[in-house]
């Protein structure tokens, strides 16, 4: 059962990012930071790992004069997240 | 590592998903219909006030209005018009949002909808009671600015849980309410602007941004 757990989601931050993106459309950097309570650098490195795995897609644009980066889960990312959740649930003792 | 406490991990994930969910089914069309009804209501109110000459010669002094035995009649009629507009607007908002939530697949009454409703209702209820107090004390001129202010603050409060446009609508209503506080006597005009024009403007914006594009990209 343990083998089914996704290695990429061993980090609490990455799993948290996927949890937020699973139930939202585009979410920007500042809101992710606020929800997860992590630093900018920490969040950025985890996001780029997820981006590399094609689990999230990135959108950069300007809101007024300020750059704004938003993230969204890809179909593959959403699937991987759900499979990981199922795997965690599989670890729970059956009632 | 996470595998050691699957219970806690699941609870954390559930909490995150729950807290971050916004109510996105709010339809822009509900804003447009509310705006049209608001303008209609303002026109009826204007007509009633012209017919009955409900205009104080000096809007800053209310004693004369209160002493007039027609005060409560006028207040009741105007409040009745406002209530009719409110009931119709809420029904319209409900209908368009129900239609939209069927399309997006988001439940109409989930945790995010409840959070939105409570955060909107609390400041609104406080404002409603405050406006009754204003009428009671014979200060009808302050009712329009007060409704705009409390409505704007309620929207601002609720905007964290729904579409971003609601925040801007709330800020605009607050600003308008503040301006109206210094322009007593023009309450109906500001009312038409705040509940009519602003609703139509932001409602159309929400519709164009979220609903038209959403129908064209659903197949993705």
Which of B8, B9, B16 to probe the A interface (max A CBs under 10 A)? B16
Lowest mean pLDDT among A11-15, B58-62, B65-69, B76-80: B58-62
- Token couple for B112: 């995010």
Domain membership flag for residue B2: no
More confident of the two residues A64 and B191 = B191
Stated pTM of the model = 0.74
Classify B5 as helix, strand or coil. coil
The DSSP letter of residue A60 is E
> Average pLDDT of A8-14?
88
Count of domains for chain B:
1
Q: Determine, yes or no, domain membership for B82.
A: yes
- Between B187 and A92, where is the model more confident? B187
- Strands across the sheet with A27-28, in order? A27-28, A66-73, A56-63
pLDDT digits (tens, 9 = 90+) for B77-93: 989 999 999 999 999 99
Between B16 and B170, where is the model more confident? B170
Specify the CATH number for A2-91; select among 1.10.10.60, 1.10.10.10, 3.20.20.70, 3.90.550.10: 1.10.10.10
Nearest beta carbon to residue A5 from set B3, B13, B24: B3
Q: pLDDT by residue (tens digit) across A62-94?
A: 888 888 899 999 989 988 998 888 888 887 776
Q: State residue B3's pLDDT score.
A: 47
For B145-181, what is each residue's pLDDT tens digit?
999 999 999 999 999 888 889 999 999 999 999 999 9
Provide, as residue numbers in chain B, all residues whose Cβ is less than 8 Å from the Cβ of A25: 24
Give dist(CA B108, CA B102) in Å, integer: 8
Question: What does the alpha-carbon distance between residue B134 and residue B178 come to, in Å, rounded to a whole number?
Answer: 16
Q: Which residue in this structure is represented by tokens 């109409």?
A: B108
Q: What's the pLDDT score for residue B58?
A: 46
Assigned token pair, A86: 């199922």
For position A2, what pLDDT does the model report?
63
Whole-number pLDDT of residue A49: 93
pLDDT digits (tens, 9 = 90+) for A25-76: 788 898 899 889 999 999 999 999 999 999 999 999 888 888 889 999 998 9
Does the pLDDT value for residue B122 go beyond 70? yes
- Confidence check: pLDDT of B17 > 70: yes
pLDDT at residue number B202:
96
Q: Is pLDDT of B104 > 80?
A: no
- Segments making up each domain of chain A, as ranges: 2-91
For residues A4 and A86, the model is more confident at A86
Instruction: Judge whether B215 lies within some domain.
Output: no
Nearest beta carbon to residue B20 from set A5, A12, A23 = A23
Which A residues in the span 14-73 are in contact with B, Cβ-Cβ below 8 Å? 15-16, 19-20, 22-25, 27, 31, 35-36
Residue B43: pLDDT above 90? yes
Closest CA to A71 of A37, A30, A34, A38: A30
Cβ atoms of A4 and A87 within 8 Å: the answer is yes
| Among the listed residues B201, B192, B204, the one whose alpha carbon sits nearest the alpha carbon of residue B82 | B192
Q: Which domain holds residue B117?
A: 26-209
Which residue did the predictor score with more confidence, B185 or A38?
Answer: A38
Q: How far apart are CA B6 and CA A87, in angstroms?
A: 10
B-chain residues near A85 (CB < 8 A): 10, 13
Distance CA(B33)–CA(B25), nearest Å, equals 16
Per-residue confidence (pLDDT) for residue A94, from 0 to 100: 64
Mean pLDDT of B2-27: 78
- Residue B5 lies inside a defined structural domain of this protein: no
Cα distance between residue B128 and residue B154, in whole Å: 12
**Cβ neighbourhood burial of A92 (10 Å; 0-12, 13-18, 19+):** exposed
Q: How far apart are CA B23 and CA B35, in angstroms?
A: 21
Q: So what's the pLDDT on residue B74?
A: 86
Q: What is the pLDDT of residue B53?
A: 72
**Which of A10, A24, A89, A74 lies closest to B19 in space, CA to CA?**
A24
Across chain B, which distance is largest between two alpha carbons, in Å?
Answer: 77
């Amino acid at each position: 059962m343990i083998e089914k757990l996704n290695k990429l989601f061993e980090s609490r931050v990455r799993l948290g990012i996927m949890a937020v993106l699973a139930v939202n459309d585009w979410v920007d950097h500042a809101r992710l930071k606020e929800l997860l309570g992590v630093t900018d650098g920490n969040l950025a490195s985890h996001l780029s790992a997820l981006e590399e795995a094609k689990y999230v897609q990135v959108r950069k644009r300007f809101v007024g004069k300020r750059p704004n980066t938003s993230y969204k889960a890809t179909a593959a990312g959403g699937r991987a997240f759900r499979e990981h959740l199922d795997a965690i649930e599989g670890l729970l003792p059956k009632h | 590592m996470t595998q050691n406490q699957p219970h806690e991990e699941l609870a954390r994930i559930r909490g995150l998903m729950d807290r971050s969910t916004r109510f996105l089914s709010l339809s822009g069309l509900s804003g447009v219909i509310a705006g049209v009804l608001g303008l209609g209501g303002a026109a009826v109110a204007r007509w009633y006030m012209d017919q009955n000459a409900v205009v104080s010669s000096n809007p800053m002094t209310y004693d004369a209005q209160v002493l007039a035995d027609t005060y409560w009649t006028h207040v009741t009629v105007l409040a009745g018009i406002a209530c009719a507009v409110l009931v119709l607007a809420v029904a319209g908002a409900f209908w368009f949002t129900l239609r939209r939530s069927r399309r997006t697949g988001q439940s109409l009454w989930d945790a995010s909808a409840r959070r939105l409703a409570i955060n909107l209702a609390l400041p609104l209820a406080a404002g409603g009671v405050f406006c009754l107090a204003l009428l009671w004390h014979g200060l009808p001129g302050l009712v329009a600015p007060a409704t705009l202010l409390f409505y704007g603050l309620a929207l601002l409060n609720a905007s964290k849980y729904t579409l971003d446009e609601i925040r801007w609508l709330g800020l605009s209503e607050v600003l308008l309410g503040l301006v109206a506080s210094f322009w007593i006597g023009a309450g109906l005009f500001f009312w038409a602007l705040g509940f009519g024009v602003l609703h139509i403007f932001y409602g159309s914006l929400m519709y164009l941004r979220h609903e038209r594009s959403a129908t064209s990209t659903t197949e993705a």
